[in-house]
Structure 1
Amino acid sequence: MSLKTHTPRSLEGLKKIILNGQKLLFTGAKTSTVIPFNKEDELRKSGVLDIVDLSCLEKKINLDGEVVTVQGPVSWQELRSYLHEHSLEIGCWPTDQSAFVLSGVATSATGERCFSHGTIRDQVDSLKYMSNRGEVVALSSQNATPFANESYQNLYEIYKDYKNAPFPRFEKETDLMVGTEGQLGVITEVSLKTFPLRTTTYILLPLDCWKESNASIKYIEWAREQSEVYSFEFFDSRCIELCNESAMNGEKDYLVFEVEESVLESFVEKLCQVDESIDLEEMMVLDEKKFLSFRVSIPRGVNEFISHNNLVKMGTDAQVRSENFKELLDLYREMAKKGVDHALFGHIGDCHLHFNFLPKEDQVDECLVLLDIFYDNLLNLKGSPFAEHGIGTVKIKYISRFYTKEVLNLFHRLKTEMDPEGIFFPQGFMGAYERS
């Protein structure tokens, strides 16, 4: 049986689809890495039969002072371009800016700028969503959610400084829709805080390979103390090779600091004080356009390599506290020793790196075992398993170990009260209370 796709062109059309009572998966630009949109068999196996494509709804952007309101399938690139005309910027956005803003809110996407501006969750001023009754409901970040309870909040406290915990935050009304992946309703509008637009530049600092060196660790706390640093990223030499960046030293890993252009020289001087052995001639400086082109080319290069060689990508999305970062690197080093091709990159300033296995077909089972062991170890570190890209259907099998009885009970209450018929993405992580 092939998947049925619904394409509403208005909120009234969306309402009719919801009231029809089918179990639905909602999609935007289909950039998600945790929903296998290109593999219908896998979607059907997970229970997905009806997909609602939200890309044809009417879209609008409206600016009121320092708050911007987005309706419909507006991409992050479109939103940023609009704000730049008003000398404003959004707080953070995902690497792939073709993704839709409302989808990013639903999955609690973060990206590079989370390092300095915080998560999308805290930039949401208000939002609207369509409920299981087809009603448009308004939520405000100024109001507390009625679903918060002390035992759940005590569990969340362990992860409060992470981008995303293994389970969502439920403190504000708006939290009900942020990071819940469309399991409680469909976001139709969001109002976000904005920031003054600043021209930034990117400093690329080469380092010895992470598998033999801990040189990167000393920069983490230092970078957090530098107010001029907007983002702090890491890419290993395999990433450089996969994206075919000939201007960079393919034998080196790279740290990348994003700073305001006006303080470039003074920042480089401060950087050299951290490590007097830094060779300025090996350092590279890129403007935003060139860097973002390079940044997007990394996952694109990985995906092209996978497709060309008929491989399978299997990666992590893990974040830990700074005091546990060396332990995270050690876990990745153990996996790197297994002889499977791999690449490491991500948001080192947040102690959040993506380790990507690039296994051949006969190595897939071994990688599944290694990932299972990895998530057990991450649980012991009280790390967050999926800090940025959500859970979807692909990572459901790894998340249950992070859920306690209190978490499952709240999921059950939320679904019972907000989606009693189970029509909103029932295959999602909140269904864990039924699968447990």
Structure 2
Amino acid sequence: MDEAQFIEQYNAYLQTIADARITYVRRWLRDNTIRFGEKVEILALIRRFEGLAKELKAAVVLCGLSCSSCGLLCLDQKHHSGKHDCKTSHCCPTLCTFELQHTEDTVPSCDMPAGHAGRHVCKILPHLCGAPCDLSGRNGCMLSCTKPPDHMEDEHLCPARVHACGEPCSVIGADGVPLCTRNCVVDSRLDHHVHCCERPLECTEKCQMCSSRCAAGDHFHALEDGAIHLCGQEHVCPRRCESMGICEIATKPQKIEETFVGRYNTFQYTKYAQEARRLPCIIPVHPTRLGHDGPHVHSEDTTAFHYCEESCEHCGYYCTLPLGHTQKEHDTAHGSMAQAEWIVEGEDTTALELEGRKYATGDSGAPMLCSLLCKTMGRHVHIAPCRAEEADECQDDELEHIVRPNAQEQHDWITHRLFWARSGFKDPYTNSEQAEFGLWYASKSS
């Protein structure tokens, strides 16, 4: 079979296999995501798959350039590095065509490299000149002169159509670093100043939007001022949604096993944290551009839902109400109080014991949850930084100033209700629990 026809059919065969694989996975994705509808994550998954499918098909295209050792074509992947290899013995499989000059019953095989031009010749008899080719140092040379044994010309030439120049390719960056590591394949007998490898129609760079090759069709494209490298396919926008608010909050909090190291205790506990996400931009990028017009959004629906951006100052959980909600108070599920620390009133060695564990001033509040701490403490008040400029101005029905002479920071006792009112978040406890918590301060005031 003709080499060009062989490569064409081989590439078609590989593309058929790739298409079958892509079709199988596409069907699997469809069947396993159809129940979720057109959610942003599913759309992003499908777009990512289509990008990978394109890369898969590009990865199974054969090189198809001349083998470094014979005249057959290279069967490595298209953009491989190193020498070209046809994956054969590089020997011509045809018999010598000078069969009448052989007296033996068996005609010997041709000793020329596979895919050579001209007649098939063995080395047993001097059918041809056989002297070393005058251009034997050049790439592509088939070494032996194939002129008649008694040719009159002084020049000895093999049947190779081209004896490549072999100089480094001229695609060199402004910093002097070669952008192409291959050698020039222009015939050394032709006068030329620009050296080009065997890939004159392929840009040396990859697409700036994906891992595919630039489709500019010019090997020297990278040397142009302000050259933009694109593969010619539509791309997924790499940016994240920039709309106000939070695109998505994980409904199930992350559970992280951590070690609490306090002044009096060291123990393992489960930390509950929440993940707020900005979803990928859903707007596709045109094949000829690096970006799209307009803002980056995770949905083309102008009324797409975004969560409020406020978070609890103690546990970091975000408000689960919509952005711009009309409710006066924010609302959330609350988690571990990792952003808070204990302040225990009394001497420096004073500790507060809860559920068999002791906490001292400066210890992290992470082992406790905002929505469980108060219930664990029962009747209680909170300690908060004093907001008055002078201590004698700190008077209110729900707070009492803590007298600390010469203290660097002044604090108040405040009620459970005031604590949550100041937080801006809805009190997570029941009405009966809130009433119980307030009894401590009510009894103290009376």
TM-score (norm 2): 0.18
| Structure that is richer in strand per residue | 1
TM-score (norm 1): 0.19
